[in-house]
Structure 1
Amino acid sequence: MLDSTRDGTPRAVDTAAGRARKGLVVVGSFVLVLYVIEVINALSLRSLNGTFGLRPRSLDGLLDIFTFPLLHANLAHLFSNTLPLIIFGFLVLLSGRRVFFTALALSWLASGVVVWLIGGFNVTVGASGLVFGLFSFLLVRGFFNRNWWQILLSVVLFLTYGGILVGILPTVVGYVSWQAHLGGAIGGVVAAVLLSLPRAERPRPRA
């Protein structure tokens, strides 16, 4: 569908179907990148994990905040994150790319910071912090936006996937980073709060 600007130039109208197509492309591309990195990591005998995995409370580890969600312990680890990433990422993207990248960035950053601060002694890798961030964003944004459709979606998601929230609780299982899950969830809630705030109106140029 096309619309036109004031000067008569045609422009595309952002429809739900269009956002859905763009969402699939963006999420699919991100997941594809994860699998390409996984192949490279496997061929290098997991050497990327030692170099770019997140090392808590290490000065060098601060840079690892930006790389650790791109790596995984093995293919099964990546498989476990793939479907939730696609589902939650797609649902967030239906609200637009700005919303998606804000939620993703804050989930990514908060997950890494929490792991760096209170993580165990092991190197942490995996995109599960992003999964928890996008999920928590979907759960709470409707309440901040006062949007009944989003609240209904959050109820459905909670009933379907709410069991994963136990992953934010401290666990004795050493290979599960509850810190990454908790940090990601915090980032998702922060994103929902920030995106619910009214945007300042930009001054319009006079005709």
Structure 2
Amino acid sequence: MANQKSSLSVPPLASKRFTLISIILLCVLLQIINSLPGVNLNGLGIYPRSLSGLMGIFFAPFLHGGWAHLLSNLIPFAVLGWLVCQYSVKRFWAVFIFTAVVGGLLVWLFGRANLHVGLSGVLYGLWGFLICYGIMHRSFKAIAISVAVVFLYSGLIWGVLPQRPHVSFESHLFGALAGILIGYYLAKQDKKSASYKP
């Protein structure tokens, strides 16, 4: 039948899990490689205002300064990523890519002259998106998710301030700003689409 679903289609729940687990496994794999003697993949991170460091925008989210750095990012990323996936996997990828690229570009433009790596910039982008989208969209689902994020991760707000020299607060700050920006835009677009009557 023409409208019969393909047996190869991925169920929504499995698709959400596959998306998040794939990113987590990629980060773990790269950290394993990075831990080998003589290997330093972190040189591919963002180095502000350097032409070669510009390419780091695409690599930095998947690289980490060590296992402690990676593990500190994985659980909040999984939780916040799962909450964004409650809208759709497509929405998750839009937020992930936008915050990684825009947040990374802002780090490259305005960050300290040092290597910036880690998933925390995107993590803050997911956090900023979920809070802003809930405030702007004001549906029960969006507000409930936003409240849950504030309850669980209100402490993240301190990460956008310079505290420790080895922590890239710039990634946190610009990631959060990028998340807020796309959250505002998508909430406006979704409200406009919902109110449109052909």
Q: Same fold by TM-score, threshold 0.5 exceeded?
A: yes
> How do residues 120-131 of structure 1 correspond to structure 2 at under 5 angstroms?
120-131=112-123
In the other structure, the counterpart of 1:11 is 5
Partners of 2:128 and 2:61 lie apart in 1 by: 17
Contact 2:47 / 2:108 at 8 angstroms: preserved in 1?
Answer: yes
Are positions 1:94 and 2:86 aligned together? Answer: yes
Are positions 1:76 and 2:68 aligned together? Answer: yes
Q: Cα deviations across residues 72-92 of structure 1 (Å, max 9, x unaligned)? A: 000110000000111111111
**What SS is found at the alignment partner of 2:5?**
strand
In the other structure, the counterpart of 1:176 is 167
> How do residues 139-150 of structure 1 correspond to structure 2 at under 5 angstroms?
139-150=131-142
In the other structure, the counterpart of 1:138 is 130
Where structure 1 has 5 or more consecutive residues not aligned to the other structure, the ranges are 1-6, 13-17, 200-207
Contact 1:20 / 1:90 at 8 angstroms: preserved in 2?
Answer: no
Are positions 1:154 and 2:146 aligned together? Answer: yes
Partners of 1:149 and 1:194 lie apart in 2 by: 18
Q: Cα deviations across residues 165-193 of structure 1 (Å, max 9, x unaligned)? A: 1111233x111111000111111112212
Are positions 1:108 and 2:94 aligned together? Answer: no
Are positions 1:189 and 2:183 aligned together? Answer: no
Are positions 1:33 and 2:26 aligned together? Answer: yes
Which structure has the larger Rg over C-alpha atoms? 1
TM-score scaled by structure 2? 0.87
In the other structure, the counterpart of 1:202 is none
- What is the identity, as a one-letter code, of the residue corresponding to 1:111? G
What is the deviation of 1:111? 2.1
What is the deviation of 1:46? 4.6
**Which runs of structure 1 show a deviation greater than 4 angstroms over 4 or more consecutive aligned residues?**
none
What is the deviation of 1:158? 0.6
Q: 2:111 aligns with which of 115, 119, 122?
A: 119
RMSD: 1.9
Partners of 2:80 and 2:39 lie apart in 1 by: 28
- What is the identity, as a one-letter code, of the residue corresponding to 1:192? G
Partners of 1:119 and 1:42 lie apart in 2 by: 26
Where structure 2 has 5 or more consecutive residues not aligned to the other structure, the ranges are 194-198
What is the deviation of 1:156? 2.2
In the other structure, the counterpart of 1:205 is none
Q: Cα deviations across residues 81-137 of structure 1 (Å, max 9, x unaligned)? A: 000111111111121122111100111012211211221122111110011001111
Partners of 1:101 and 1:27 lie apart in 2 by: 10
Partners of 1:189 and 1:58 lie apart in 2 by: 27
Count of matched residue pairs: 187
